[in-house]
């Protein structure tokens, strides 16, 4: 029987258990894949700890991203056949489907082919990060010359946002609380790196823009620092808040928002993938950029499936630069 990761209570990484279970049988519209690589995401860490958009029902599986080959298709599935090389697009609920295991059961609508120039490890590392960052293009209309502030930039989504900015000629300004990551962020394509541990970091960002302020901000942190992000903005700039990494409450930056006529947008990639036309356009755009070599996932570290607890602990350490991947 295949090994599948489950947990029976919310908590730290230690609640994750590797259990032998019968291979799930695909129902109508579903596909079972043999997993070759699993991409980890902070959403799964939050789901495991009971801090996500919804609560797990026990025993719970988890996981948004995997690459592998199709093993079996359910009734009504077209476009895929056993042996096809696919990866999963995060467009489903963690209450219903999962990717953490030697096999994964997924809706056919959440599967996509990935470019032949990527390995399975890279194939498991593309859709969450690039389709999340794609919001800057779809909703922020990011284009050449835009100054784009990317906070927590060493995350896989942050690095993806840097690559997308460069692909359209925008100017990515990365932030990090870890000075040791500066060199890596510059190597990953950031034009400037600002340490948010230092006082007056918002002023440094504005200096980079010659006082004009940034056009777009892409922030997964929120918390009290959101007020500083607002201070970096130009009039009528747009702030994307796509996460809640800060443990503290998030004050609304009232005076900056009113004084600059700012747009603060709550955002997840579901805004892209749950609209069929928008989602297909986004996937094609990302696919073409990857195939052309303009986008390439950065892998921080790989773990074996029997070390899933260690992989989650590493994710919580915030030491990584790029995507954490687990291989069965």
Both 52 and 82 in a single domain?
Answer: yes
Mean pLDDT of 297-312: 96
Both 134 and 253 in a single domain?
Answer: yes
Per-residue confidence (pLDDT) for residue 301, from 0 to 100: 95
pLDDT above 80 for 128? yes
What is the tally of structural domains in the chain?
Answer: 2
Kindly report, residue by residue over 48-77, the tens digit of the pLDDT. Answer: 999 888 899 999 999 999 999 999 999 999
185's tokens:
């962020």
CA distance linking residue 188 with residue 294, whole number of Å = 12
Both 38 and 137 in a single domain?
Answer: no
CA distance linking residue 291 with residue 294, whole number of Å = 8
pTM tops 0.85: yes
Per-residue confidence (pLDDT) for residue 246, from 0 to 100: 86
For residue 168, being part of any structural domain is answered with yes
pLDDT above 80 for 198? no
What integer best gives the mean pLDDT of the chain? Answer: 94
CATH of the domain at 32: 3.90.180.10
Q: Whole domain around residue 79: which residue ranges?
A: 3-126+297-327
Both 93 and 138 in a single domain?
Answer: no
């Amino acid at each position: 029987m295949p090994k599948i990761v489950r947990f029976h209570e919310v908590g730290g990484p230690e609640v994750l258990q590797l259990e032998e279970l019968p291979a799930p049988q695909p129902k109508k519209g579903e596909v079972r894949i043999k997993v070759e690589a699993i991409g980890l995401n902070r959403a799964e860490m939050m789901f495991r700890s009971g801090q996500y958009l919804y609560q797990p029902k026990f025993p719970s599986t988890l996981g948004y991203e995997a690459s592998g080959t199709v093993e079996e298709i359910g009734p009504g599935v077209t476009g895929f056949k056993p042996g096809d090389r696919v990866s999963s697009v995060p467009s489903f609920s963690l209450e219903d489907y999962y990717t953490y295991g030697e096999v994964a059961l997924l809706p056919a609508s959440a599967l996509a082919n990935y470019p032949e120039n990527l390995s399975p490890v890279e194939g498991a590392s593309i859709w969450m990060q690039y389709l999340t960052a794609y919001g800057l293009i779809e909703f922020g209309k990011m284009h050449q010359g835009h100054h784009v502030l990317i906070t927590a930039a060493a995350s896989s989504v942050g690095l993806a946002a840097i690559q997308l900015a460069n692909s359209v000629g925008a100017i990515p300004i990365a932030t990090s609380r870890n000075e040791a990551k500066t060199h890596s962020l510059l190597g990953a394509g950031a034009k400037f790196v600002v340490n948010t541990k230092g006082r007056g970091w918002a002023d440094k960002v504005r200096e980079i823009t010659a006082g004009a302020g940034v056009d777009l901000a892409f922030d997964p942190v929120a918390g009290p620092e959101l007020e500083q992000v607002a201070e970096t903005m130009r009039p009528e700039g747009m702030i994307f808040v796509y996460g809640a990494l800060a443990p503290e409450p998030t004050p609304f930056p009232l005076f900056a928002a009113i004084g600059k006529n700012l747009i603060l947008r709550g955002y997840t990639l579901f805004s892209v993938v749950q609209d069929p036309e928008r989602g297909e356009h986004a996937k094609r755009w990302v696919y073409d950029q990857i195939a052309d070599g303009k986008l390439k996932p950065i892998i921080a570290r790989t773990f074996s499936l029997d070390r899933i607890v260690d992989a989650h602990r590493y994710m919580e350490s915030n030491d990584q630069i790029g995507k954490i991947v687990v291989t069965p």
